Structure 1
Amino acid sequence: MDLTNDRHSQHISSQFNQELEALKTHLMGMGGLVERQIQEAVAALLNNDSRAAEEVRDNDRQVNEMQLRIDDECTQILARRQPAASDLRLVLAVTRAASDLERIGDEANKIARNALTLIELGETTRGYTEVRRIAGQVREMVRQSLTAFARFDTELALGVLEDDETVDEEYRSAMRSLVTFMMEDPHAISPVLHVLWILRSLERVGDHANNLAESVIYLVKGLDIRHAPEHPRASLGRKRGDREAESDADDS
C-alpha cells in the first residue's frame, strides 16, 4: 500500500500522530543543519576563511547529538507503539535517513579539516572550480531528497537518483584532470591532494543523498531498491507523468 500524507491522520491516538510528526520534524531539522554544514565548509575553503572552517568542524558534535535523539525516539516508538505496515516503514526509514545525514555531517567535517590545511598552506591551487560546481550539485541533491521525504514524493526521489549519476561523472572527470595536473607539476601534489580529498567527500555526500532518496521510495512504496539490478524507474513502473497523461487521454 502506498503511503500518503493523510495516512498519519487516521490514527486513533492523537499522541501517536504527534510522535510521528515530531520524528519527521527532527529529521528535517537535522537535514537542514548538515546541508548548512556542507555549504559553510565549502564557502570557508573558497573564501579562505579559517574561522568558518573551524566552526563547521566544531558543529559536528551537534549533528551527532541530533542523530542520537532521533534514534532514541525511534526506539521508544517501536517499544511503546509496536507500529505496523506503513508506520513501521516510516520509523525504519527515519532511522536510515538519520544515519545518512550523520555521515553527510562527517563529510562536511572532513571538508572543513582539509580546507583548514589548504588555508594554512597559503597556496593557490587547481580544482576550486570543480569543488564549487560539484558542491552545488550535491547540496541540491540533499535538499531535494529531504523535500521528497517531507512530501512522500517518489518522483522527486527518482530525480535525485538520476542526479547522482551526473555527479559521479563530474567527479571522475575532475579526478582525471587533477591527477594529470599533478603529474605535470609535482610541486602541486601536496595542495591538490587535499582538493582531491574534498572532492571525494563531496562525491560521498551525493551517495548519501542518493541513499536518502532510496529511503523515500522504501517509505512510500515499500520497495527496497538499494541493490536492484534494473533502473529504479523500472522497479516503480511508469513515470507519474506517463500515468497522468494516459488518464487524461481516457477521460477525453
Structure 2
Amino acid sequence: MDYLGKHISGQYDADLAHIRKEVMTMGGLVEKQFSDAISTVLVHDVDLAESVIANDKQVNRLEVEIDEACVKIIAKRQPTASDLRLIMSIIKVISELERIGDSARAICQIVKQDFTEDQQSLLRSLDSMGNNVVRMLKEVLDAFTRMDIDMALKIYQEEKRIGQNYEMLIRQMMTFMMEDPRSIPNILIALNCARAIMRVSSRCQNISELIFYFVKGQDYRHVGDDVIETLLEERGQKS
C-alpha cells in the first residue's frame, strides 16, 4: 500500500502503516480460512474443518483490534480526503472479511454429512464453484492492497458468472431431491454450503466497491448497472 503520501507526523505514518499491515494479516488469514473450508467439500477432513472453526475466533479478534485502531486514528488525527476514505474503507472491508470468516465456518458443516456416491457430482460442482470464489477473494484482496481499480472492476463483473453457477447448482439440487426424497437432509446441507459460497462472492464484489470509493471518491454501493458501465468505459474495460 504505497498510494498515500507522507505526512508531517512520523507517528501518523506509523499508525497508518500498522493498520494497513493488520488488514493484510486479517485478509491472509481469512483467505486461508475460506480456502481450507472449500477443501473440506470433497475431502471430508474433520480435523481441517475443526481448525477453520477454531481459527474464526482469531478473525473476530483482528476485526475488533483493527476497528479500535481506526477509531483512535480518527479521534486523534481527524483525517481528511484520501486518508479518511482509506480509514472508512478499512473499517468496512474488515467487516466484510469477518463475515467471509463466518461463511467459511458454515461451509465446514458439510463434513458432518455422509454423501452417497451418486451425490459426488454435486460436491464436485460445489468444489468447482468454491475454488472460483477462492481465486476471486485472493484477487480482490490483492486489488485492495494496491487499490487497483482496474482489477477491482474485473472482479466486480466476475460475481455475475458465480451467480450463474449458483443457479445451476440449485437446479441440480432440486433434481436430486425430487428423484430421491431420502437425499433431502444432505442436499439441504449442500444448499447452505452453496449459499455461503455465493455470499463470499457478493462480499468480494462489496470490497471491489470500496476500492472504487477510495480511488474515485464516490460511493458505488447500490448504484445501477449503467453507473458501473460508465466506470467500465472510463477504464477501457467495456467489451
Return the letter of the residue paired with 1:39. S
The answer for the alignment partner of 2:78 in structure 1 is: 82
Pick aligned residue for 1:216 from 195, 208, 211? 211
Tell me if the contact between 2:42 and 2:124 (Cα under 8 Å) persists in the aligned partners: no
1:20 to 16, 21, 28: 16
SS at match of 1:9: coil
| 1:1-252 correspondence to structure 2 within 5 Å | 5-6=2-3, 8-112=4-108, 114-118=109-113, 121=114, 123-124=116-117, 125-126=119-120, 127-236=122-231, 238-241=233-236
CA 1:75/1:187 → structure 2, altered by over 3 Å: closer, same or farther?
A: same
> Residues of 2 paired with 1:123 and 1:162: CA distance?
35
1:117 Cα deviation after fit:
1.6
Cα root mean square deviation, aligned: 1.7
CA distance in 1, matches of 2:226, 2:142: 22
2:116 and 2:162 map into 1 onto residues whose CA distance is 27
Aligned identity (percent) is: 35
Deviates more, 1:40-49 or 1:199-208: 40-49
- The answer to whether the Cα contact below 8 Å between 2:40 and 2:48 also exists between their aligned partners in 1 is yes
4+ residue stretches of structure 1 with deviation over 6 A?
none
8 Å CA contact retained: 2:115, 2:186: no
1:53/1:115 contact within 8 Å kept: no
How far apart, in 2, do the equivalents of 1:157 and 1:237 lie? 11
Q: Please state how far the C-alpha of 1:131 moved relative to its aligned partner.
A: 1.1
Contact preservation (8 Å) 1:57, 1:109: yes
CA spacing shift, 1:136–1:129, aligned 2, 3 Å: same
**Does the aligned pair in 2 maintain the 1:53–1:116 contact within 8 Å?**
yes
Match in the other structure for 1:250: none
Scaled by the length of structure 2, what TM-score is found? 0.93
Q: CA deviation at 1:47?
A: 1.3
CA shift at 1:233, angstroms? 3.5
Asked if 2 retains the 8 angstrom alpha-carbon contact of 1:45 and 1:53, the reply is: no
CA distance in 2, matches of 1:161, 1:96: 17
- From the CA coordinates, give the structure whose radius of gyration is larger: 1
- Aligned residues, how many? 235
Q: Which runs of 5+ in 1 are unaligned?
A: 243-252
Shift of 1:145: 1.0
CA shift, 1:40, in A, is 0.9
Q: Is the 8 A contact 1:5 1:152 kept in 2?
A: no
- Post-superposition offset of 1:46: 1.5
